[in-house]
A and B are shown apart, each in its own frame.
Chain A
Amino acid sequence: MGADPAEDGGGGVNPWPYILAAYLLAAVGLLCYLLSVSRRTKAMVAQIATLRRFSKDTMR
């Protein structure tokens, strides 16, 4: 008679899929955020440059 269910089959879920999923998800999330900040900064800087050029042109 099994005192513990896991002894008679089913016992011990493989932990690695869970560990890898957690770490990979975090890695992807952090990298995506880093890319998003860089992308947004680049877009801002480009807009600033355009505006500066434009204001110089109109001043002339």
Chain B
Amino acid sequence: MIGRGLERALGILAVIGLVTGLYTGFLYAPPDAVQGEVQRIMYLHVPLILVSYFAFFVVFVTSILYLARRCERHDAIAHSSAEIGVLFTALAIAAGSIWGRPTWGTWWTWDARLTTTTILLLIFIGYLMLRALVDDPSRGATFGAVLGIIGFLDVPIIHMSVVWWRTLHQPASVLRPGPSTVAPDMQVALYTNLAAFVLLYGYFLVKRVRLEKARWELIRLRMEGAA
């Protein structure tokens, strides 16, 4: 069992990170030359979507491990990470939509980047529904693992969507080849917030895995009671 100490440390570090992130995003970083103040939404939108990619990558890896070894622990992490990934993706889409209105001139458009991101969100909402629908824990875990592995494959497609297709969404500013397109002062704000959201993800994951373990305990006790 992962200690409460780790959970508390991650929580405290995440709060410190988020406060520092707000400071760097709103006070340290300058406004953008083209967009002005509204560009500050980037320090929320980009970390949220990057951490959600990471969360689904964790689902991908632990799902493969589950199928290979049938160890409940891996499934607990996959299930928990998928739930947090759905939360972060939904918030990233919401923040992106709010950013799009004053810059692009629309809340939403069906370009390739937005369409493939919506697909990712729907796949993992479907994943959570599937997990809730299947009562048998090991069957649920197996179905989930297969869907989790397939679902993650959309992440590289999202990332490449702005290269492969014509989109309204601009090309990637991070995780791209070549020099950074973000001014140094803005990078400080961006990476501080990214670190903060990674810590927050870790904190959420530890908490959510604990819930998953309590759920197993309950199932085990019920089965003993029924026997």
Contacts and interface: CB of A to CB of B under 8 A. Distances in A.
A/B touching: CB–CB < 8 A: yes
Interface of A: 12-13, 15-16, 18-19, 21-23, 25-26, 29-30, 33-34, 37-38, 40-41, 44-45, 47-48, 51-52, 54-55
B211 A15 contact: no
A55 B223 CA distance: 12
A22 B98 contact: yes
Interface residues of B, number: 32
B217 A25 contact: no
B40 interface: yes
A22 B99 contact: yes
Nearest to A21: B98
Nearest to B39: A15
B99 A18 contact: yes
A10 B90 CA distance: 32
| Majority SS at the chain B contact face | helix
A10 to B, nearest CB: 13
B210 A41 contact: yes
Given A30-B91, A55-B224, A47 B218 contact: yes
Interface in B204-227: 204, 207-208, 210-211, 214-215, 217-218, 221-222, 224-225
Interface stretch (B41-49, B70-78, B130-138, B178-186): B41-49
B38 interface: yes
Given A22-B41, A26-B48, A48 B99 contact: no
B144 to A, nearest CB: 18
Contacts of A19: 37-38, 40-41
Contacts of A44: 211, 214-215, 217-218
A23 B218 contact: no
Contact of B208 (A16, A21, A37, A48): A37
